[in-house]
Amino acid sequence: MKITFPHTGNMYIPIKVLLETIGIDYVMPPLCNIKTLECGSAHSPEFICMPFKIILGDFIHGIQNGADTVLFCGGLGQCRLGYYGDLQAEILKSIGHNVKFICIDLTFLTVREIVEKLKPLTEGKSPVKILRGIACAIWTVFRVDKLYRLASYTRCREVVKGCTDNTMKQFHHRVQNARGFKAIIKEINWAKWTLETIKTDKKAKPLKVAIVGELYVALEPYANLDIEKKLGNMGVEVHNKLSVSHWIMEHFIKRNLPVKSKDTSHEAGKEFMKTDDIGGHGLETIGNAVLCSRNRYDGIIHLYPFTCMPEIIAQCTFNEIQNKYGVPIMTLILDEMTGEAGYMTRVEAFIDMLERKRKAGTPDRILNLAWMFNWHGFVNYINRGGNMLLKRRNRKNGSKETAT
């Protein structure tokens, strides 16, 4: 039995650790690229979201390279993610791929749930080895996300541009060739040490921008056109609020503790959406936008795939959040037809506006209005209003001179 799985950002690293520690044979698809998307799109419904298409492309590649079992995550709730597994299984069957699907329910994730779902793959394996694999994978998730945060901090401050990107590129190449938990941790430590030795500008005060939105698009560099790297190279410190480690902490570790605690982003989101769930990561998106606004971030970028209903609902609250807290929010909708040039033009214009806002100290609400509509149109509108006032004043002065 040989298993394959989809990519979701850096999630392939802890999955490698899990499977290799337990001793499960697997096929890892290549990092997401245009061929993956084209392959998935060719067999997907036209208006299904982009994550579905990329994930299907990953499955097809894995199956073509010898996999007979697919490992996937689903769940209940008001999001199409819960139907992905069944629909993808039917599509794969229709194109001649009869494989077994193992779908881990993310709604109420427990160690027992993981062990039960992996049972067909772990027959004859030691229970100690299975639990050790789960523990090592969770530990790896936190180590990798910490490394990514360090890269985000370094990239926007580095004196010689490109050093951070080169280090992370080498890290991904090396970690794909590494085998086992100890070897992967060694590569993480190497990347951490290399990033810490990069010369940075200690006096730099970069803009601080948060990324919120749908989990897959926010985490997968190919899906979001590598926005974290692009922003970092523009001198922006990026804080991605949708890390895998955060998700595991909130939905796996805390939920399995005897003392329950509330999700801070969900509680913050209820200020503008009076419900416990709007599907997907919608309520979390609203809450993260509120928390970032309270913490005085310079701006927020909201990412989601075309047709994602939970994020469309979340987007409806952003005008109220901007009006109350004065932090600009820009939404970017992504699918396979998204053009990088237009996408980057919007990102650059947004960052330019944030820099002007910081330098000028312009009142937040005025600049938010300018951004929500059109900066140049807003300026022209103000100029026209000023010119009209000057003309009125000149007409009044002229009439007074004529009267005297």
Q: What's the pLDDT tens digit per position in 23-77? A: 989 999 888 999 999 999 999 988 888 999 999 999 999 999 999 899 887 665 6
Is the domain defined by 3-136 classed in CATH 1.20.1070?
A: no
Q: Which two tokens stand for residue 141?
A: 């998730």
Residues 6+ apart with CB under 8 A from 324: 293
Do the beta carbons of residue 19 and residue 191 sit within 8 Å? Answer: no
**pTM to 2 decimal places:** 0.84
Q: What's the pLDDT tens digit per position in 104-162? A: 776 667 777 777 777 887 887 888 888 899 899 999 999 999 999 999 999 999 999 99
Is 80 exceeded by the pLDDT of residue 97?
yes
Domain 206-372 maps to which CATH number in 3.40.10.10, 3.40.50.11900, 3.40.50.2300, 3.40.50.300? 3.40.50.11900
* Distance between CA atoms of residues 86 and 93, nearest Å: 11
Is 50 exceeded by the pLDDT of residue 402?
no
Q: What's the pLDDT tens digit per position in 315-364? A: 999 999 999 999 999 999 998 888 888 889 999 999 999 999 888 875 55
CATH 3.40.50.11900 domain span(s) along the chain: 206-372
Strand partners, 211: 240, 301
| Residue 350 CA from chain centroid, whole number | 18
Amino acid at 54: I
Distance in Å from the first CA to the final CA of the chain: 102
Residues 6+ apart with CB under 8 A from 153: 237
Which residue's structure tokens are 């209903």?
A: 309
- Pick the residue with more confidence: 1 or 238? 238
What share of the chain has pLDDT > 70, as a percent?
87
What crossing angle do the helices spanning 340-360 and 364-372 adopt, rounded to 10°? Answer: 160
If we measure between CA atoms, which residue out of 232, 260, 228, 225 comes closest to residue 243?
A: 228
